[in-house]
């Protein structure tokens, strides 16, 4: 016979929901060598300057459609992807994807050319900002449907396990996407089948104009995997060394066959949601205060200073990046648009 429902407050004390579960180690902040730290700095400055330039080109009408910038979030992609094995592991993300491509060492010229819709672009100029893709790097997009990349990421993880290729999938999504239903179906399957997937919530505090606290009953997003037995870790996403440290822990967990893990990266986007965001939902002071107190590039600069890297050495990197970005913009402006015949190619998914 079914047990009568107990009135609230009178139930016997519940046992812990998930007893005797193994938990990952608390991550330790990564101890980077001077070379590694300089490389993190270089990549983060590249992303920042690239995105600023993309914003300018958009303003000039050279980039059309949607364009979501990654400024403020640089430490996330750089810290996480620096720990992956390019070509073995796969990466998938949403539409805010330029930084993830750059962090993978993909040529800024062909990323910028994609933004301006040129044939030399990484998706042949037909994907644009939201649909960057590189089979060679196992970088599977660039997706405009909020949350869809999470299910696809579980599928990529399934592929790694099925083929036994030793790879894992890093599936990024936002704090807004974390409230999407399919995310939890993907979580369930991923844990049930112990898929090698690192789910990464880039919590930049806003989903378009809605803050996390307005939209999320549980705003500690790293807990969102708990009911699926997926362990979660909250990470300072403005500190590239903390991010890299968390990546090490997550990779160790996932590669050793323990199944998925969830990382919540606390970060912040400085610019609007997209280029057409009037930004009425937050104050200028809030943004300025984040820039002043928590900027991820300033933080790496301080680390570099502490180990004796001079201002001049950093300026030399900045100069180099300026040239790389200027060349990428020139290339993206001058290279030809796709041929009209390309209108009818790549429309359906083919073998890849």
Ligand X SMILES: Cc1ncc(C[n+]2csc(CCOP(=O)(O)OP(=O)(O)O)c2C)c(N)n1
Cα 269 to Cα 258: distance, rounded to the nearest angstrom: 32
Contact between 229 and 191 under an 8 Å Cβ cutoff? The reply is yes
The stretch among 23-31, 36-44, 205-213, 232-240 that binds ligand X (CB under 6 A) is: 205-213
97 binds Mg ion (CB under 5 A): no
**Strands 169-174, 261-266: pairing kind:** unpaired
The stretch among 143-151, 284-292, 294-302, 321-329 that binds ligand X (CB under 6 A) is: 143-151
* Residues in contact with ligand X, shown as a per-residue x/- string from 75 to 114 under the rule CB under 6 A: ---------------------x------------------
Closest CB to Mg ion among residues 81, 204:
204
Give Cα 11 to chain centroid, integer Å: 42
Contact between 232 and 265 under an 8 Å Cβ cutoff? The reply is no
The stretch among 126-134, 186-194, 205-213, 332-340 that binds Mg ion (CB under 5 A) is: 205-213
144 binds ligand X (CB under 6 A): yes
Give Cα 104 to chain centroid, integer Å: 12
Distance in Å, CB of 181 to ligand X, minimum: 10
87, 128, 150 from 350: Cα distances, Å: 20, 19, 22
Closest CB to ligand X among residues 263, 324:
263
Task: State whether residue 115 is helix, strand or coil.
Answer: helix
Collect all residues with Cβ–Cβ distance below 8 Å to 274 and sequence separation of at least 6.
66, 67, 68
Cα 125 to Cα 112: distance, rounded to the nearest angstrom: 10
- The residue number with the shortest CB distance to ligand X is 174
55 binds, among ligand X, Mg ion, none (CB under 5 to 8 A by kind): none
Q: Which of 204, 255, 195 is nearest to 225 (CA)?
A: 195
> Phi and psi for 92 in degrees, rounded to 5?
-145, 145
How many other C-beta atoms lie within 10 A of the C-beta of residue 171? 29
177 binds ligand X (CB under 6 A): yes
Q: Which of 174, 225, 259, 272 binds Mg ion (CB under 5 A)?
A: 174
94 binds Mg ion (CB under 5 A): no
Q: Which of 89, 175, 239, 295 binds Mg ion (CB under 5 A)?
A: 175
Closest CB to Mg ion among residues 243, 304:
243
Cα 104 to Cα 88: distance, rounded to the nearest angstrom: 13
Residue 16 burial by Cβ neighbours in a 10 Å radius (0-12, 13-18, 19+): exposed
Residue 125 burial by Cβ neighbours in a 10 Å radius (0-12, 13-18, 19+): buried
137 binds ligand X (CB under 6 A): no
The stretch among 123-131, 170-178, 216-224, 232-240 that binds ligand X (CB under 6 A) is: 170-178
174 binds ligand X (CB under 6 A): yes
Q: Which of 116, 204, 216, 294 binds Mg ion (CB under 5 A)?
A: 204
Closest CB to ligand X among residues 76, 321:
76
273 binds, among Mg ion, ligand X, none (CB under 5 to 8 A by kind): ligand X
Query: Which residues of this protein are in contact with Mg ion, per CB under 5 A?
Result: 174-175, 204, 207
Binding site for ligand X (CB under 6 A): 96, 144-146, 174-177, 204, 206-208, 273
């Amino acid at each position: 016979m079914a047990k009568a429902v107990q009135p609230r407050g009178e139930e016997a004390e519940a046992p812990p929901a998930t007893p005797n579960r193994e938990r990952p180690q608390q991550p330790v902040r990564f101890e980077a060598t001077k070379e590694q730290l300089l490389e993190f700095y270089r990549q983060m400055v590249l992303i920042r300057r690239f995105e600023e330039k993309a914003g300018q080109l958009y303003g000039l009408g050279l980039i059309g459609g949607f364009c979501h910038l990654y400024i403020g979030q640089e430490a996330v992609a750089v810290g996480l992807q620096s720990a992956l094995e390019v070509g073995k592991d796969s990466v998938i993300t949403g539409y805010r994807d330029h930084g993830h491509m750059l962090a993978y060492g993909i040529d800024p010229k062909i990323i910028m050319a994609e933004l301006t819709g040129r044939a030399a672009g990484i998706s042949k100029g037909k994907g644009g900002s939201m649909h960057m893709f590189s089979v060679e790097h196992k970088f599977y997009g660039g997706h405009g449907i909020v949350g869809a990349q999470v299910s696809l990421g579980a599928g990529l993880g399934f592929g790694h396990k099925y083929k036994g290729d030793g790879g894992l999938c890093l599936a990024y999504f936002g704090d807004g996407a974390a409230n999407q239903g399919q995310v939890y179906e993907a979580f369930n399957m991923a844990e049930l089948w112990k898929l090698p997937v690192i789910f990464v919530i880039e919590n930049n505090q806003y989903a378009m104009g809605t803050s996390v606290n307005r939209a999320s009953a549980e705003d500690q997003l790293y807990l969102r995997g708990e009911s699926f037995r997926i362990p979660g870790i909250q990470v300072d996403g403005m500190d590239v060394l903390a991010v890299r440290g968390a990546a090490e822990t997550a990779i160790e967990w996932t590669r050793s066959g323990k199944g998925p893990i969830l990382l919540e990266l606390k970060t912040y986007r400085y610019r609007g949601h997209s280029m057409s965001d009037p930004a009425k939902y937050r104050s200028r002071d809030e943004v300025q205060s984040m820039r002043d107190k928590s900027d991820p590039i300033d933080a790496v600069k301080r680390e570099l200073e502490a180990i004796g890297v001079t201002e001049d050495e950093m300026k030399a990197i900045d100069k180099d990046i300026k040239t790389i970005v200027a060349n990428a913009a020139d290339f993206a402006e001058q290279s030809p648009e796709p041929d009209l015949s390309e209108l009818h190619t790549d429309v359906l998914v083919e073998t890849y």
